[in-house]
Amino acid sequence: MPEEFTRRQGVVTAATQDKIKEFVNAGGTVVYIGDVTMAAAQAFNLPVTNHLEGLGQDKFYVPGSVLRMTVDPNDPVAHGMNKEMDVFFDNDPVFKLGADAAAKGVRPVGWFATDDPLRSGWAWGGANLKDGVAMIDATVGAGKVYLFGPQITFRAQPHGTFKFLFNSIFYGTATPSQQ
């Protein structure tokens, strides 16, 4: 990358990560999409690992395909979504939740429920996705961290997945009604 553009990469240093953690713990909301999600899970000490750990391209490779995902429509970030939906997937992160995830405020929002989630494109080793979590809603301190492995904002695909982004932004800033 040319030197004059490197400052625009959005690199998170230890100092900025500390500020992000402080923001979330105080009630802020942070949304991570794509490749940065696993690093975010580690930074916030979430009980999350890589569901596809150890699988090389000879065992798993899904370059730019549409996959079927199951969604928890009761999660506020999935408000208005169907129980199943298609997402654009380009070798994106897939998570495995630890046994203590629910106790630590980490919930799956979307996951691959079948061993054949392919809807369009091609997938080498797609069966490895079964039971992998694609989207996570985590309560951290007084705030929220959302991890979206699939590219929910990629090209035309957001027509089907943009609600995840906007719901997470709106829900993160929502206040309880005073009834």
Give the span between the Cα atoms of 85 and 69, in whole angstroms.
5
Residues in the chain: 179
- In this model, does residue 145 exceed pLDDT 80? yes
Name the token pair of 172. Answer: 């993160």
Please give the model's pTM, rounded to 2 decimal places. Answer: 0.89
Average pLDDT for 147-157: 84
Q: Is 65 exposed, middle or buried (0-12, 13-18, 19+ CB in 10 A)?
A: buried
Tell me the pLDDT band of 162, cut-offs 50, 70 and 90.
confident
In the predicted model, what is the mean pLDDT of residues 92-97? 97
The predicted model gives 86-106 an average pLDDT of 96
pLDDT: is 129 or 4 the higher one?
129
Q: Which residues pair with 145 in a beta bridge?
A: 30, 138
